[in-house]
Amino acid sequence: MKVMQFPLAKITIGFVLGIMLSFYEKPNPETAFLLLIVSFIAFWATYFFSKKDFTQKIYFGTTLYTLSFLIGVTTQVTHTDYFKKNNYIHLVTESEKDHLVEVVLREKLKSTSFSDRYIAIVKRLDNKERTGKILINFYRSPVNTKLKIGTNIQIKGAIIKHKPINNPDQFDYGNYLIQKSIFAQMYVDAYDIKISSKIDTDFWFYSDWLRNRILTNLKESGFANDELHVVAALILGQQQDISPEILHDYQFAGAIHILSVSGLHIGFIVLFINFLLKPLPKNKFGSYLKLSIILFSLWGFAFLAGLSPSVVRSVTMFSFVAVGMHLKRKTNVYHTLLASIFFILLFQPSFLFDVGFQLSYVALFFILWLQPLLSGIWTPKNKIQSYFWDILTVSFAAQIGAFPLSIYYFHQFPGLFFITNLIILPGLGIIMALGVFLMVLAALGYIPLVLSKMLEWSIYILNKTINWVASFERFIIQDIPFNLYMLISLYLMITAVIIWFKKPNPSKMMAVLVTVLLFQVSYFGTIWNTQNQKELIVFNVKKSTLIGERTGNDVTLFSKDYVVKNTVIKSYLVANFSAVEKQKPLQNVIYFNRKKILIIDSLGIYSNTIKPNIMVITQSPKINLERLFQKNRPEMVVADASNYKTYIKIWKATCYKEKIPFHATGEKGFYKLQ
């Protein structure tokens, strides 16, 4: 691949690898910065000794790439709030202890059925100046509806660190928040807070104020709610209020990317601005004025959309393209792509671990690399055919690039994505142009009824079209087992096939065959590894008991209820390439891997002669553990989430007194026995 011959490509790769190492290994900050200084000195030394022909010196390249790697390490360290000594999390030791916290609201998240959620910045903790992000969950109250971004609030309550996942192979929301430097959260009622009259009028305040003004004006003009929420996502990057049903339709139709502001949307905006600026004179002054207007418009839009990762990525890349066009130099798209990655991650390295960021860049890279190849397969005879053929090839190129990542993260694939794009993309540019123009007018307080109704009907037709495509559920491939090894090997195979397809020869065909073999090895190796595993899981299911025994890819469930379709067990089955073979009612005794497991349910009946290795307590039985331990002394006591919390506290204290390990799934998550 010629792109790998660019020095910027190798520098960016080294920089990204440094961020990844720093993220996963958590190096000592002092050591990281010491190595950076040493590397910087070595770089300048090698540059000095080889400045006449430094491109030919191996040691100069080595020190350059080492320096880029260490810059990545230290960039991640610098942006990791946990390393900051004044972060509030260092004072949080007991989860049940109340703290007095002063925060300022920064961002509103999607609400749940019982709470409104905000990301806030800590100012003071127990009257000490502190910093750091925290997630605040306000239980629903009329008071909370008045909260604005920038509001200062004093809260008294417990700061809760993120718990481990409740069940195996679930989405780890706590780890997701930690990646965003949000290390804890609070659950508060209206009487736990004091709202200050002070409001921080910063960037985030004005961004939120402007969005709310636009949406309020549109709503007052008679804009329908469902269509308004889609407009908020499509134009303003705000998905918080979209109904679950509409989100479901967009996911199943393969059009969820439309609701996340990305390069597609920014590209339409750039085309629209260029169209409006055509009358400008084509002299030096006109060129500078055009560049200034484009950059101001792009970053104004990013400001309006709240600087989400996908928006920042797209606006940054198109800013590089705009500057290159202004300088009248031939802009290499790969250089632009790499420069935008480097620039964005230099200021916000956590974006690297954002799924949307990854999917956007992979899709865009494959559009640039693969779409010209697909487009050359057939030459249409007229402009209409050419237009739709370009849409189809762009869609296929993007989906081929994003396909492995999509399956890895979401374990499903929309089979009708190409039909969705063929139907929607031709009209999306018009919707975007009309939407952006109407947003500007709404910000000024003027909304022409004709334009408002045109946009509302356009969104209504868009939603109905998406709903129609999503109704063909048989084309949605779901619950696809896929792991990291398969992800890497599949990308290697796709890359090898494209390289061979561009210019076939025997050596490239050999590379294709090797990558196919590698993918087969990763798949069958995973299957072999799965078939040689045995484990028993006590799942954490509220007000219910679920125990699973897996031998290879066969799972036996012990439960009173039919739970095969439960998301708890579905994620476990998909991750472990398994299927439920049997379902049995709960038993008093289960034998697993030479261990005897006693299950005590609500009846509280057990035999003193069993002598179990492990005891599982379910359904809140009225038992005296001290008396039970006199005849039966297990190695471990497990209490699942079907028990009363008051009972669990008593059992925990008894086990602590008797020096027997105790595991409550409600506190520690699922229990695994191998």
Q: Where are the domains of the chain?
A: 2-78, 88-200, 208-478, 484-531, 534-673
Q: Is residue 74 within 8 Å of 101, Cβ to Cβ? A: no
Q: Tell me what pLDDT residue 115 has.
A: 85
d(CA 229, CA 246): 10
Q: Name every residue whose Cβ is closer than 8 Å to that of residue 54 and which is 6 or more positions away in sequence.
A: 46, 47, 60
Q: Hey, what are 208's tokens?
A: 């939120």
d(CA 288, CA 41): 39
Taking Cα atoms as reference points, which of 74, 73, 82, 120 lies closest to residue 101?
A: 120
Taking Cα atoms as reference points, which of 519, 513, 487 lies closest to residue 500?
A: 513
In this structure, what are the phi and psi dihedrals at residue 349, rounded to the nearest 5 degrees? -65, -20
d(CA 267, CA 311): 11
- 135-147 per-position pLDDT tens digit: 999 887 765 567 8
pTM check: above 0.95: no
Please report the DSSP string for 180-226 in residue order.
Answer: TTEEEEEEE-GGGEEEEEEE--SHHHHHHHHHHHHHHHHHHTT--HH
d(CA 460, CA 573): 38
Q: Tell me what pLDDT residue 135 has.
A: 93
- 341-392 per-position pLDDT tens digit: 888 888 888 888 888 788 888 888 888 888 888 888 888 888 778 877 887 8
Taking Cα atoms as reference points, which of 656, 614, 658 lies closest to residue 639?
A: 614
Q: Is residue 548 within 8 Å of 557, Cβ to Cβ? A: yes
Q: Tell me what pLDDT residue 563 has.
A: 56
Q: Tell me what pLDDT residue 515 has.
A: 94
Q: Residue 620 in 3-state DSSP?
A: coil
Q: Is residue 456 within 8 Å of 395, Cβ to Cβ? A: no
Q: Name every residue whose Cβ is closer than 8 Å to that of residue 337 and which is 6 or more positions away in sequence.
A: 317, 361, 364, 365, 368
Q: Name every residue whose Cβ is closer than 8 Å to that of residue 260 and which is 6 or more positions away in sequence.
A: 233, 237, 239, 308, 310, 356
Q: Tell me what pLDDT residue 114 has.
A: 82
Q: Is residue 615 within 8 Å of 636, Cβ to Cβ? A: yes
Q: Tell me what pLDDT residue 310 has.
A: 67
Taking Cα atoms as reference points, which of 653, 641, 234, 186 lies closest to residue 435?
A: 234
Q: Tell me what pLDDT residue 94 has.
A: 67
Q: Tell me what pLDDT residue 251 has.
A: 81
Q: Tell me what pLDDT residue 565 has.
A: 53
d(CA 190, CA 517): 60
Residues of the chain with pLDDT under 70: 1-6, 51-57, 94-96, 142-145, 263-264, 306-310, 324-332, 561-566
- 591-625 per-position pLDDT tens digit: 998 899 999 888 888 877 788 899 999 999 988 88
Distances 154 to 126, 141, 151, 192, 645 between C-alpha atoms, Å = 11, 17, 10, 8, 30
Q: At what angle do helices 284-304 and 263-276 cross, to 10 degrees?
A: 140
Q: Residue 166 in 3-state DSSP?
A: coil
Q: Tell me what pLDDT residue 630 has.
A: 82
Q: Tell me what pLDDT residue 674 has.
A: 83
Query: Judging by DSSP bridges, how do beta strands 636-639 and 614-617 pair with one another?
Result: parallel
Taking Cα atoms as reference points, which of 597, 596, 603, 656 lies closest to residue 625?
A: 656
User: How many other CB atoms sit within 10 Å of the CB of residue 111?
Assistant: 16
What residue has token string 């993007």? 398
Which CATH architecture best describes the domain 88-200? Beta Barrel (2.40)
